[in-house]
C-alpha cells in the first residue's frame, strides 16, 4: 500500500438507503475537494451543503447535492487530509462521484487501508486498530463493550505501563553493567530483581484468564451430545428457534455435526448437534461419531443428553447432564430434566446456558487478551523476564530485559511489525 496517495471508499454499507458516505484521505485531498465543490471548500470540521461537479469535455456537469465535511491533517481519523461526502445513495450517484475521484487522481482504498494509515500516522496503535476491527464485527452488547474498551486503548495502556517499568529496569541494569567497580548500593540489584518478579507475576495473572476475552470475541462453542434418539436435534431446533436439524425416530439420522449460531446471555454461542454416540458397523455413522467426540474435546462446554434413569459416565467434568423426555419418565434426582414436547424445564435450561456463557466470558481484572497474537506476545515477554531473573551475569540479564521490551513493542506496533500489518489490516472491511 502506497501511503499518502489519495484513496476513497464508501464508509456505509451496500444496499438501498437515503445517504451514502464517501470517505477520501491522502495528500491532495484538499485540491480534489476544492475541484469537486467549485472552489467552495467548507470550514474545517463543519458540514456544508455543496453541489459536487465535474468537468467533462469542457462542460461543468453536476454530480449531486451533497453534505461535505473537510478534515485537514492531522485532525482526522487517518492523520492525513481527509473529507467526507454525504451523497444521495443511488448507485448512479455513487458511481459518478467515484469516477470523478479517479479522474482527479484518487484510487479505491484496499481493505483496512484507512485504519492502517491511522496506525502509520500514530493516531492509534496496533492493538487499538484490532479493537476497531472487532467493534465493526461485534454482534452483541458484550462484544461491543470489549471491543470499544480495546479501541479506546485500555489494553494498550496496560502494556505501555509495563513497557515504562521495563525501561526503568533497563536503566538500572545498565548502571550495574557500566559501573561494576563503582559503589552502587546492593539494594539497586535487589530492586531490579524484585521488579522483574513483580512483572512476571502480573503477566502471569494476565495470561491466566481462561481465554475469556478470546472466547467472547470469537463466540463460544457448546456441543450437544448423547446416545441416538435422546432429543439432541429437537433441542437444537428449540434453542435455534428454527428447524435447523432433521428430527427422526430413526437412529443415526444425524451423521455430521450441525452448527447453529445463537445468543445466550449476550454472548454469541455456536450450538453443535452431533451424531448419536453408540457402537456401529456403519462406516459413515462411525465417522460421524468420531467427529462428535472431536467436537466434545474442542467445545467450551458440553450438554450431555440422556433419557434413561441413570446419568451416563461421560456426562461429568466439563459437561452438563440433561435428562430429556421428561413427559415420558422422570429423571434421576438433582439433574435438570426437560421436555421439548411440553416445555417442562426449557426456561430453566436456557437460563443455565446463558449463565454459563456469561461466566465463561466475564471480565476479571485487567482488560482481557482478545487474540492469539496478544497471548503469544505476552508469553514471549514473560519467558524473557523469567530468563532475566535466572541470569547471574548482568549483561545477559540486560539482554533478556531488552527482549522482553521488544516483545511488548511488537504487540502495540512500536517495533518490528511490518510482516504483521498486511495480516492485521487485511481483515477490515473496505472503507475502514
DSSP for 305-349 reads: EE-SSS--TTSSSSEEEEE--TTTS---TTSEE--TTT-TTHHHH
Are 34 and 105 in a shared domain? yes
424 in any annotated domain: no
429 in any annotated domain: no
Q: Is 156 annotated as a binding residue?
A: no
Q: Is 275 annotated as a binding residue?
A: yes
d(CA 320, CA 225) in angstroms, rounded, equals: 10
Output the CA–CA distances (angstroms, integers) from residue 326 to 110, 238, 332, 336, 357, in the order listed: 56, 16, 11, 10, 25
Of the candidates 133, 127, 93, 143, the one whose C-alpha atom is nearest the C-alpha of residue 113 is 133
Q: Is 232 annotated as a binding residue?
A: yes
Q: Is 254 annotated as a binding residue?
A: yes
Which CATH number belongs to the domain containing residue 379 in this structure? Answer: 1.20.120.430
274 in any annotated domain: yes
Residue 251 pLDDT:
45
Q: Is 377 annotated as a binding residue?
A: no
Output the CA–CA distances (angstroms, integers) from residue 414 to 27, 122, 350, 420, in the order listed: 24, 10, 45, 12
417 in any annotated domain: no
Q: Is 250 annotated as a binding residue?
A: yes
Per residue in 328-366, pLDDT tens?
A: 888 888 889 999 889 999 999 999 999 999 998 988 778
Label the pairing between strands 220-226 and 301-306.
Answer: parallel
Are 111 and 179 in a shared domain? no
141 in any annotated domain: yes
Are 96 and 204 in a shared domain? no
Are 225 and 204 in a shared domain? no
Greatest Cα pair distance, the chain, in angstroms, is 87
Interior angle at CA 411, CA 410 and CA 417, nearest 5 = 40
- H/E segment holding residue 385: helix 372-390
Which CATH number belongs to the domain containing residue 308 in this structure? Answer: 3.40.50.300
Query: What domain range is 321 assigned to?
Result: 216-361
Of the candidates 327, 430, 379, the one whose C-alpha atom is nearest the C-alpha of residue 111 is 430
Are 240 and 353 in a shared domain? yes
Are 15 and 151 in a shared domain? no
Q: Is 84 annotated as a binding residue?
A: yes
Q: Is 23 annotated as a binding residue?
A: yes
Among the residues of 67-185, which ranges form H helices? 91-103, 113-120, 126-137, 141-151, 154-178
Q: Is 276 annotated as a binding residue?
A: yes
The contacts of residue 112 (CB under 8 Å, 6+ apart) are 133, 424, 425, 426, 427, 428, 429, 432
Residue 116 pLDDT:
93
Are 298 and 344 in a shared domain? yes
Of the candidates 331, 229, 233, 318, the one whose C-alpha atom is nearest the C-alpha of residue 273 is 233
For residues 400 and 385, the answer to whether their CB atoms sit within 8 Å is: yes
Question: b/e map of 127-140 (b: 16 or more CB within 10 Å)?
Answer: bbbbbbbbbeebeb
Q: Is 219 annotated as a binding residue?
A: no
User: Residue 196 has what DSSP assignment?
Assistant: H
* DSSP-derived 3-state class of residue 58: coil
Which CATH number belongs to the domain containing residue 32 in this structure? Answer: 3.30.1360.120
Are 165 and 249 in a shared domain? no
Are 333 and 223 in a shared domain? yes
Are 32 and 91 in a shared domain? yes
User: Residue 50 has what DSSP assignment?
Assistant: E
Q: Is 249 annotated as a binding residue?
A: yes
Q: Is 351 annotated as a binding residue?
A: no
430 in any annotated domain: no
* Residue where a domain stops, chosen among 77, 99, 124: 124
Burial class (CB in 10 A: 0-12, 13-18, 19+), 302: buried
Rg (CA), the chain: 29
378 in any annotated domain: yes
Q: Is 3 annotated as a binding residue?
A: no
Q: Is 432 annotated as a binding residue?
A: yes
Are 23 and 139 in a shared domain? no
Per residue in 250-301, pLDDT tens?
A: 444 444 567 888 888 888 998 888 765 545 555 655 555 556 566 667 788 8
Q: Is 273 annotated as a binding residue?
A: yes
267 in any annotated domain: yes
Cell numbers that stand for 359 in this block = 461466566
Q: Is 318 annotated as a binding residue?
A: no
d(CA 366, CA 171) in angstroms, rounded, equals: 27
Q: Is 113 annotated as a binding residue?
A: no
206: left (phi over 0), alpha (psi -120 to 50) or beta: alpha
Count of domains for the chain: 3
Blockwise average pLDDT, block size 10, the chain, 432 residues? 79 86 96 96 96 92 96 95 96 94 95 93 93 91 92 94 88 70 66 92 92 90 84 84 52 59 87 65 56 68 86 68 88 88 91 92 85 94 95 86 90 62 57 64
Are 149 and 52 in a shared domain? no
Residue 291 CA to chain centroid, in angstroms? 27
Amino acid at each position: 500500500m502506497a501511503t499518502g496517495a489519495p484513496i476513497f471508499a464508501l464508509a456505509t454499507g451496500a444496499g438501498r438507503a437515503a445517504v451514502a458516505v464517501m470517505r477520501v484521505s491522502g495528500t491532495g485531498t484538499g485540491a480534489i475537494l476544492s475541484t469537486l465543490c467549485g472552489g467552495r471548500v467548507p470550514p474545517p470540521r463543519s458540514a456544508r451543503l455543496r453541489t459536487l461537479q465535474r468537468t467533462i469535455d469542457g462542460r461543468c456537469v453536476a454530480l449531486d447535492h451533497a453534505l461535505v465535511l473537510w478534515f485537514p491533517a492531522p485532525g482526522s481519523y487517518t492523520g492525513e487530509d481527509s473529507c467526507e461526502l454525504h451523497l444521495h445513495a443511488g448507485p448512479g450517484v455513487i458511481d459518478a462521484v467515484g469516477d470523478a475521484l479517479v479522474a482527479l487522481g484518487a484510487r479505491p482504498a484496499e481493505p483496512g487501508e484507512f485504519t492502517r494509515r491511522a496506525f502509520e500516522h500514530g493516531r492509534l496503535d496496533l492493538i487499538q486498530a484490532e479493537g476497531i476491527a472487532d467493534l465493526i464485527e461485534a454482534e452483541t452488547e458484550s462484544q461491543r463493550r470489549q471491543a470499544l474498551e480495546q479501541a479506546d486503548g485500555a489494553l494498550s495502556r496496560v502494556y505501555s505501563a509495563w513497557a515504562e517499568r521495563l525501561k526503568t529496569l533497563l536503566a538500572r541494569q545498565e548502571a550495574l553493567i557500566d559501573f561494576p567497580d563503582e559503589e552502587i548500593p546492593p539494594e539497586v540489584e535487589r530492586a531490579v530483581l524484585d521488579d522483574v518478579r513483580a512483572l512476571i507475576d502480573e503477566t502471569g495473572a494476565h495470561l491466566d484468564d481462561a481465554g475469556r476475552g478470546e472466547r467472547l470475541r470469537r463466540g463460544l462453542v457448546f456441543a450437544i451430545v448423547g446416545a441416538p434418539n435422546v432429543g439432541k436435534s429437537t433441542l437444537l431446533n428449540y434453542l435455534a428457534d428454527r428447524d435447523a436439524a432433521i428430527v427422526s425416530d430413526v437412529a443415526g439420522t444425524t451423521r455430521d455435526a450441525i452448527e447453529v449460531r445463537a445468543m445466550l446471555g449476550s454472548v454469541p454461542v455456536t450450538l453443535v448437534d452431533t451424531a448419536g454416540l453408540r457402537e456401529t458397523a456403519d462406516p459413515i455413522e462411525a465417522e460421524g461419531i468420531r467427529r462428535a467426540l472431536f467436537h466434545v474435546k474442542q467445545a467450551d462446554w458440553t450438554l450431555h443428553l440422556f433419557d434413561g434413569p441413570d446419568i451416563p459416565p461421560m456426562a461429568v467434568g466439563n459437561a452438563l447432564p440433561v435428562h430429556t423426555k421428561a413427559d415420558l419418565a422422570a429423571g434421576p434426582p438433582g439433574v435438570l430434566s426437560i421436555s421439548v414436547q411440553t416445555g417442562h424445564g426449557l426456561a430453566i435450561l436456557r437460563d443455565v446456558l446463558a449463565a454459563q456463557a456469561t461466566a465463561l466470558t466475564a471480565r476479571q481484572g485487567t482488560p482481557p487478551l482478545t487474540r492469539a497474537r496478544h497471548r503469544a506476545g505476552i508469553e514471549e515477554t514473560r519467558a524473557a523476564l523469567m530468563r532475566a531473573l535466572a541470569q547471574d551475569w548482568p549483561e545477559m540479564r540486560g539482554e533478556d530485559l531488552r527482549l522482553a521490551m521488544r516483545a511488548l513493542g511488537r504487540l502495540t506496533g512500536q517495533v518490528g511489525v511490518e510482516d504483521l500489518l498486511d495480516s492485521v489490516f487485511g481483515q477490515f472491511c473496505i472503507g475502514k
